[in-house]
Amino acid sequence: MNRIVILNFHGIGVPRRDLEPGEAPYWVSEDFFTRILDLIPEAPLPVAITFDDGNASDLDLAAPRLIDRGLTAEVFALSGRLDRPGSLSAAGLRELEAAGFRIGTHGVDHVDWRRAAPETLAREIDESRARLAEVLGREIDTAAIPFGSYGPHVLRALRRAGLARVFTSDGGLANPEAWLRPRTSLRGDMDVPRVRAILDGTESPLRRLRRSAAMRWKRGLSD
């Protein structure tokens, strides 16, 4: 079965908005981001790139570097942050799509979907898709789960909503044909050898076992 590496980024460079608690480690420097992109041609496995939250750096800093290297990405935007300082504008979202980037939803307000009340979860999925569809003039059929926090009820809600693909933050390799696809989130405290290991698909048996057990628990398949 084919496998791919999906690298997930949040913000590049210096944030232009106040960050949420625990968010800062997931911002990487412009230099480190560029170094990661330059590793991709050497990777033994296919690599896909995604961005969460819809930060302005997706357009201002990441997109030019990706385009220069013939790369693209999928951007999962928070509809509630559109047009706010430090976040993508509606026009910026359209500009990214025109440049070949794919756009999906990350919800409205960046809440934990696993802990959300049913009506909040429904709003996060439905309202965000409706707003992004209004901006782009097309249906939004992909989603990335905030914080990588989900359970069986979240997956059921996403399936009922008709999402074609859903992305998590479980790490490891992904099946490019699967409905649910794990990603590896890059952090500012990582170094190049660690990123090389991710791109190589290298993982210790113990780490693989722990990750698999965690994913099974989230999906409601554990004993």
Give the pLDDT of the chain (223 residues) as one tens digit per residue. 589 999 999 999 999 999 999 999 999 999 999 999 999 999 999 999 999 999 999 999 999 999 999 999 999 999 999 999 999 999 999 999 999 999 999 999 999 999 999 999 999 999 999 999 999 999 999 999 999 999 999 999 999 999 999 999 999 999 999 999 999 999 999 999 999 999 998 866 656 666 666 667 677 743 3
| DSSP codes joined into one string, the chain | ---BEEEEE-EESS-SSPPPTTTGGGEE-HHHHHHHHHHGGG-SS-EEEEEEE-BTHIIIIIHHHHHHTT---EEEE-GGGTTSTTB--HHHHHHHHHTT-EEEE--SS---TTTS-HHHHHHHHHHHHHHHHHHHTS---EEE-GGG---HHHHHHHHHTT-SEEE----S-B-TT-SEE--EE--TT--HHHHHHHHHT---HHHHHHHHHHHHHHHT---
Show me where the domains of the chain are located: 5-219
Check: pTM over 0.75? Answer yes or no.
Answer: yes
Domain 5-219 has CATH 3.90.79.10: no
